[in-house]
Structure 1
Amino acid sequence: MNATHTAPASSAKYAWAGGLRMFAAVMLFLAGLLGIFRGIMAIAEDEVFVTTRNYVFQFDLTGWGWVHLGLGIVAVLVSFGLFAAAAWARYTGIGIAALVIIANFLSLPYYPWWSVIVIVMSGFIIWALCVDRGEDVVGRPTDGRLP
Structure 2
Amino acid sequence: MQNADVLVFLLLVAILLVWLAGLFRKWLTAPPKTIRVVEPDEEIPVTDAVALLEESGYEVMTTKRKVPIRIRLNGDQELESRLFVDHFANDGDNIYIVKLARERQPMEMTGSGIRNQLLVYHLLYEEAAGILYVDPRQRTIHKIQFEVTA
Q: Same fold (TM over 0.5)?
A: no
| Bigger CA radius of gyration | 2
Larger RCO (alpha carbons 8 Å, 6+ apart) = 1
Question: TM-score, with normalisation over the residues of structure 2?
Answer: 0.29
More helix by share: 1
Question: TM-score, with normalisation over the residues of structure 1?
Answer: 0.30
More strand by share: 2
